[in-house]
Structure 1
Amino acid sequence: MSSSSHCCFSLLFFLLFHKISCSTDTITATLSVKDGEGETTIVSSNGTFELGFFSPGKSENRYVGIWYKNISVTTVVWVANRETPLNTTSGILKIIKPGILVLLNQDNTTIWSTNTSRSVQNPIAQLLDSGNLVIKDAGDGNEEKNFLWQSFDYPTDTYLPGMKIGWDFVTGHETFLSSWKSSEDPSTGEFKYSINRNGYPQNFLKRGSIVRYRSGPWNGFQFSGSLNSRQSPFYEIGFVFNPREAYFTNHLLQPVITRATLSWNGLLERTTWVDRTQRWVLYLNVPTDTCDIYKLCGAYGKCNIQTSPVCGCLDKFVPKNEADWLKADWSSGCERRTALSCNEGEGFLKYSGIKLPDTQSVWFNQTMTLEECKTRCLRNCSCMAYSNIEIRNGGTGCFMWFDELLDIRLVPNEGQDIYIRVAASELVSEVRSSGKKQKILIVTLLPLGGVLMLTLILVVYYRRKKKNSELKHEVSRWHNKGDYSNESSNNEFELPVFDLSTLNKATDNFLIGNKLGEGGFGPVYKGVLESGQEIAVKRLSKTSTQGQDEFKNEALFIAKLQHRNLVKMIGYCIEGEDKMLIYEFLPNGSLDSFIFDETQSRLLDWPKRFHIINGIARGLMYLHHDSRLRIIHRDLKASNILLDINMEPKISDFGLARSFGGNEIEANTNKVVGTYGYISPEYAVRGLYSVKSDVFSFGVLLLEIISGKRNTKFFDPDNDDINLLGHAWKLHKEGRSMELVEPHLSDTASLSASEVVRSIHVALLCVHQRPEDRPSMSSVIVMLNNEAGALPQARQPGFFTDDDAHSFNMNEFGSTNEISTTSLSTGEMTITRVDPC
C-alpha cells in the first residue's frame, strides 16, 4: 500500500470511528435527527437520555421520542408527535428560524412542530441531562428563562425529576400528565393527572371529566392525607402557589433513576430502576387503596381502610339514608345528628388525623391565624368548618368551607386537624385528668348583636372503683380522645375489647398445644375466633417483669401506628387478673426461628433475606420519620420481627417503645432496658437514647441476618474475645466481607455478592460507636438499594470486644448494677440497669 493510500485509509478510518463513537446532544441548523437508513439520534451529555425515532411494541407507526439510553428495558419518557404518527421511516427532525423544531415527512410536509413567541439568530435544540429537550439561542446557557420552548412544559405520560406540574396564571399555560391510549399507542388516553386551580390547588387524577383521586391541599410538608406524597429519602417534594403560578415539583437527593408514569389503565406509579435485577421496581402508586376513591363515603362520611366496612360517619353525624348505607351504598353520605340553628350556641368540634375535605370551593387566606380563622367562621352561619392551611411552625393560614365536606379519609399519622360546626347540644365531652373522671358540659351562647360567648362548665368528680377500670379507661382515652399527639379525636381508633370467655374459646382454654412462644411479657397463644379469623393472644404472666406500663405502651403504639411492616393489633382484654393483647396471627413466626436454625435458615435465600432487611428498614423509617412523633422501639431484635405468610417482616413488641416530640432528638433515662447484644453504647453507658439507638440495633440485626449467627453467641476460634461486630469489622478491613455470609448462601445462584458486601458495609455504618456518626434509616434504605452510590467509610464499631480495641466493652460496665432477665425462649438477656448516679 502506498504512503498516500495509507494516509487516505487512516483518515477514512478516523472519520468513520469518530462518527460512530461520538454523539451530540444538540440539533443545529446543519445537524438533524433522521429516521430510516442512516438513522441518527442525539444523546444527553451524561449519556442518560436519547432522542430519536421509535415504534412502540408491535406498532409500525413511527414517533419522535426520548428514552433512557442505558437501560435494557426500552422506556420512553416523552413523545413529540403522539397524535400524528408517521407511517414510513422517512421522517426528519430539524431546527429552523426563528427557533422552531419541526418534524417533516418524505415530501417535506410538517407533521409536528413547536411554537415560540420570540425569535433568535442561531436557534438550537438541546437534550439536557434531566431529559428535558429545550430550544434556545446557541449562545445562551441552560437557564429556564432563556428557553424558547421546552418539552418539560408539554409532558406526555411521564414525570421526571425537575419537571413542574401545574399552572402559569400569567400565560394560562397548564402542565399536566396524560396517559397513553394503550401500551402500543402513545396518543392521548382517558386519564389526566393535573393541579385543579379551583379554590385552593390540589392534584386530581381524572378519567375524562370524572375525578378518581384527589391528593388534598399542600400542608407545608405534603399533600394533606396523601399517603404517598411524604418526603422520600431519594427525592424532595416542593409546592409553589402565588398569584403568578401554582405547581408541584421534586428534585433528587440521591443518584437514583426514578420516574412517575400515568399508566394507560389509570394508575400513577413511581418506579425506580434496579441495575441488579434489570427491571423497574414499584416505589409507590395512587390511588393507593379503596379509601383513595374520590368522595366514596359521601358528605361528612369518613373512610378508614382499617375497618370493615371502610365507610362510616364522623362523630356527631349519622347516615343520611340508613337503608342505602346498610347496602354499602354510601353516596348519600351523612348529616348532623342534631341540626344547626344559627346563633343559638353553636360551636366547633375538633377532628384530627384526617385528609382535609375537597378545597375546590373553600375561602382561604394564607396569613391568617387559626384563632382569627375561627372568629371569622363563627360569625358566618354558612361557614361549616375551618382549618389551618399549613401545619408547619404551629400552623398558619385559614381554610373555610361553606359547602358539604367531601372526600374525607382517616390518615392517623399524617392527617390534619379540622374544626367542624355542630349544634350547642353536641358540645358535651368528657375529659379525664389527675386520675379522676370529669364530666364537662359546655354551653356556648352567641348573642345576635355580638360575639360575646358565655361558657358554663359543670365539673362532677367521682373516684374510680377498680384498678382494671382505670386501665380500660386509659386505653380507651388514648384511642377515642386522640391523646396521642392530638392525631385523632374520633372513634376511628377505638380498639375492640374482647371478653375472656371469647379468648378462652378461641384458644381452647389456652391449651399448651396452642402456645406459640413466651417472652418477657408472658406466653403467646394461637387462637381462632368464631368468624374463622386466626389471632395471636399475648397474655401477661403473673411473674412477668413487664407490667401495666408496658401493656399500655403496646396498646398505644401498635394500634396507632399503621404500616405494612408493623404488626397489627386487633384488640385487648382486661378481666380479673388477666391482661391480654390480641394481634393478627403471622404463620411464619419470628425471624430468629429461621436465621438461627440450621434447617429453617435454608428456606431463606439471599433475595428473601434482602427483602426482609428492607422491610425492617422501612418499618423503622416510618417509626423514626413518617410518624408525627418519633417512635423509638428500644428493643429491636430478631425475635421481635415476625413474618407473615409471604415472609413480609413486621416489627412487634412495643412494650419498651418511647415517643419524641417534633423537636426532640435525644432523651435520658436512669433505667436502661433492652436486650444484651443489641443495645447501643451511649444507651448502655449513659442512659441516652434516640432514633440512632434503634439504628445501632438494626446494624446488629443486619449482620445476624447475613451471617446466621447471634451477636451474643458468636465464637471466633482464632479470637475468643471478639463478637460478631468485631468479626465483621476485621473481615471488612481485610476485604474478606463475603466470608461473613452464612455458608449455605454462598452456594446458591441467587446470591448477589455486591449486594451482600454493600449490606455488610451499611451494617457497620449503623453500629458506629458515636450516634451522630450513624446514618438515619432513610439514608440506610437508599444506601442498601443504590448500588451506584458511594458509601461513607466505616469505622470501628461500638462494643468491639478485642483486647487491642479502645472502644466500649460490655464487661467494663458495673455488673453489680445490672439485673438480667431471660427474654423469650431464645435465651436472650434483657438488661435493666439502674444508674447509681
Structure 2
Amino acid sequence: MAAFSIFFFCFTISSHSLYTFAMTSDTIFMNQTITDGQTIVSAQETFELGFFSPGNASENRYLGIWYKRLATGTVAWVANRENPIRNKSGELTLQTDGVLVLRDSATNSIIWSTNTKGKTRNPVARLLDDGNLMVIDDEKDNGPENYIWQSFDHPGETKLPGMKLGWNFESGIVTNFTSWKSDDDPSQGPFMVYMNFNGLPQIYQNNGDVIQYRLGSWNGQAFTARPAARPNSIYRLEYVSNEREIYTKFDSINDSILSRLTVTPSGITGRYTWVNRTQGWFLFSAFNTDTCERYALCGVYGACDSTQSTSCGCLEGFTPKSQAQWDISDWTSGCQREVALDCGVREGFRKYRFMKLPDTRQSWYDTNMTLEQCNAKCRNECNCTAYATLNIKYGSGCLLWYEELIDMRVIPRDGQEIYIRMAASELGKVFCF
C-alpha cells in the first residue's frame, strides 16, 4: 500500500570520507589498483565505487558502491561489510586471473576478495549504470549471463532494479537481503528477506531464526500477500521459475526515477523512490504495515482480518483450540475442526474467498493441471487438506496443501479462493467476507 509521508532513511557516507578523486573510467583494468581516495564512476554518473565510512560515528573504511548524480552518497552495496579496514590503507586490485582483491596495505593482509577464478585473457571490472560491478573477459562475448563475477550475486541490505532474489541451480548462488546492524555498521544484522524453496517457493522476512512476515508465493500476477498490487509508472515485478533458476526481481519502467528496496537495521522493509523536489527518499510502499502481517498470528485454520475489532477468527467449520487463550487475544494456538475428517468417500471441499493463501512449505504444485483435476487429486489423497488455482492470471495450474493451514488473512475484494477439505456434514456453505 502507498505510504503518505516521506521517510528519509538511507545509509550515507560520512563527511570525513568525501575526499575522493574520481577517475575518468568506469573500469578497473588488469593489474590496476584503486586506493582509498580514488573512485570509478559509471558511464552516466549514476553510481560510484570507492572507499567510505558509514554514518556519522564510524571511522572504519569500507569498499562500496553509492549513488553519484542523484541521492548522492546513499550506499547501495558494501564489499567488506564483515571486515572493515581501520584506516585509509585500503587497496583494490584486479588480478590477472580475474579475481578482485581488497588489501590493507598497512598490514599486507587480504580483507576481501571475489574468490572466483576463470580462464580469462583480459579481465576487467566495470561499474554499470544499474549499480552492478561486473568482472568480465573483455575479449569474449559479454552477454548478460557471461561474466566471471558480479556484485548483484552478493547483495546486502538493498535490492536495486535488476537484482534477483532466488536461486541459480547452475551456479549454486542463492541471493537474499540482510539488514545492517546499525547506520554506522554495515555488518549483517538480524533481519533477512529471502526466498524459501520448500514446496511452492515463497518470500519471507526473518528476525534471526524467527519468521516475522510472509510475502507468500507468486500467483501469476503478484505475491499472495500483495494481490492488490497494481501496474504503476515506477517499476514492474517479474517472477521466473524454470530448470535453470527461480527468482523474482523488479525493473524500472522509467529510468529517470530511482527506486530501491531496502531492509533497515530496525527491520522495516520498504520500497523507496527518490524525489528531486525534496531531495529525499519517499517511502512508496512497505512490508509489515499492519497487525495481520505478523506471521501465523492466528495459528492454524485461523484468519486475520484487519477490518474487525478482534483481529483473529476461526474459519467457518473450525473453533478455537483454547477458548481461554482466545479470550485474552492470544490466538497462536489456532483453531480445530468442529467435525473431524475420516477420509470418507463423502468428504469434499468448502470454498473460502478473499484469502491470503496459507504457507506453502508443505505443498505440491503442477503448472498444467486444471482446477477440476486439482480437486480430483486432492480428493483421492486423504492427507491433502486444501487446493487452489496456481496461476490466477490464466486460471491454470494446481496447488495442493498436505498439512494444517497457517498464516492466512482476509483480503477483501482482492484475495484468492481456496478449497479446504471438510467432513460431509460441513459441506454446502460458502465462506466469504
TM-score by length of structure 2 reads: 0.91
After superposition, the Cα gap between the structure-2 partners of 1:34 and 1:141, relative to the gap in structure 1 and judged at 3 Å, is farther
After superposition, the Cα gap between the structure-2 partners of 1:162 and 1:45, relative to the gap in structure 1 and judged at 3 Å, is same
1:76 partnered with 2:67 = no
Between 1 and 2, higher relative CO (CA 8 Å, sep ≥ 6) is seen in: 2
Contact 1:100 1:116 in 2 (8 A): yes
Q: Return the offset for 1:73.
A: 5.2
Q: Distance in 1 between matches of 2:229 and 2:108?
A: 46
Contact 2:304 2:410 in 1 (8 A): yes
Q: Which amino acid aligns with 1:347?
A: G
Q: Which amino acid aligns with 1:167?
A: W
Match of 1:103 in 2: 102
Q: Distance in 1 between matches of 2:367 and 2:348?
A: 23
- 5+ unaligned residues in a row in structure 2: which ranges? 1-19
Q: Which amino acid aligns with 2:47?
A: F
Contact 2:98 2:117 in 1 (8 A): no
After superposition, the Cα gap between the structure-2 partners of 1:22 and 1:324, relative to the gap in structure 1 and judged at 3 Å, is closer
After superposition, the Cα gap between the structure-2 partners of 1:128 and 1:141, relative to the gap in structure 1 and judged at 3 Å, is farther
Render the CA deviation track for 1:333-391: whole Å, top value 9, x for unaligned: 11122222221521111111111110001021121111001011111221111111110
Q: Which amino acid aligns with 1:312?
A: G
After superposition, the Cα gap between the structure-2 partners of 1:227 and 1:263, relative to the gap in structure 1 and judged at 3 Å, is farther
Match of 1:56 in 2: 54
TM-score by length of structure 1 reads: 0.48
**1:459-608 superposed matches below 5 A:** 489-490=431-432, 492=433
Contact 1:102 1:113 in 2 (8 A): yes
1:346 partnered with 2:366 = no
Q: Return the offset for 1:412.
A: 1.9
Render the CA deviation track for 1:546-595: whole Å, top value 9, x for unaligned: xxxxxxxxxxxxxxxxxxxxxxxxxxxxxxxxxxxxxxxxxxxxxxxxxx
Match of 2:401 in 1: 401
Q: Distance in 2 between matches of 1:146 and 1:104?
A: 27
Q: Distance in 1 between matches of 2:346 and 2:23?
A: 78
Q: Which amino acid aligns with 1:309?
A: T
After superposition, the Cα gap between the structure-2 partners of 1:160 and 1:276, relative to the gap in structure 1 and judged at 3 Å, is same
- Other structure's SS at 2:390 match: coil
Match of 1:376 in 2: 377
- 5+ unaligned residues in a row in structure 1: which ranges? 1-18, 430-480, 482-488, 493-837
Q: Distance in 2 between matches of 1:409 and 1:382?
A: 23
**1:119-134 superposed matches below 5 A:** 119-134=119-134
Match of 1:46 in 2: 44
The structure number with the bigger radius of gyration is 1
After superposition, the Cα gap between the structure-2 partners of 1:371 and 1:426, relative to the gap in structure 1 and judged at 3 Å, is same
Render the CA deviation track for 1:697-722: whole Å, top value 9, x for unaligned: xxxxxxxxxxxxxxxxxxxxxxxxxx
Contact 1:225 1:414 in 2 (8 A): no
- Other structure's SS at 1:121 match: coil
Q: Which amino acid aligns with 1:85?
A: P
Match of 2:236 in 1: 236
Q: Distance in 2 between matches of 1:146 and 1:403?
A: 42
Q: Distance in 2 between matches of 1:231 and 1:174?
A: 28
Q: Distance in 2 between matches of 1:140 and 1:294?
A: 47
Q: Distance in 2 between matches of 1:72 and 1:356?
A: 38
Render the CA deviation track for 1:667-693: whole Å, top value 9, x for unaligned: xxxxxxxxxxxxxxxxxxxxxxxxxxx
1:89 partnered with 2:91 = no
Q: Distance in 2 between matches of 1:77 and 1:214?
A: 24
Q: Distance in 2 between matches of 1:54 and 1:287?
A: 31
Q: Which amino acid aligns with 1:426?
A: E
Q: Return the offset for 1:172.
A: 2.5
Q: Which amino acid aligns with 2:250?
A: N
Q: Relative to structure 2, which stretch is displaced further, 341-350 or 326-335?
A: 341-350
Q: Return the offset for 1:116.
A: 1.9
Contact 2:165 2:194 in 1 (8 A): yes
Q: Distance in 2 between matches of 1:94 and 1:117?
A: 14
Q: Return the offset for 1:142.
A: 4.5
Match of 1:320 in 2: 321
Match of 2:261 in 1: 260
Q: Return the offset for 1:144.
A: 2.5
Contact 2:350 2:428 in 1 (8 A): no
Q: Which amino acid aligns with 1:100?
A: V
Render the CA deviation track for 1:204-251: whole Å, top value 9, x for unaligned: 111111111111110000011226755433111011112321100111
Q: Distance in 1 between matches of 2:50 and 2:422?
A: 61
Match of 1:459 in 2: none
Q: Which amino acid aligns with 2:352?
A: Y
Q: Which amino acid aligns with 1:270?
A: R
1:163 partnered with 2:163 = yes
Render the CA deviation track for 1:580-628: whole Å, top value 9, x for unaligned: xxxxxxxxxxxxxxxxxxxxxxxxxxxxxxxxxxxxxxxxxxxxxxxxx
Render the CA deviation track for 1:750-769: whole Å, top value 9, x for unaligned: xxxxxxxxxxxxxxxxxxxx
Q: Which amino acid aligns with 1:53?
A: F
Percent identity of the aligned residues?
Answer: 47
Contact 1:364 1:397 in 2 (8 A): yes
Contact 1:364 1:399 in 2 (8 A): yes
1:200 partnered with 2:196 = no
After superposition, the Cα gap between the structure-2 partners of 1:261 and 1:142, relative to the gap in structure 1 and judged at 3 Å, is farther
Q: Return the offset for 1:88.
A: 0.9
Match of 2:177 in 1: 177
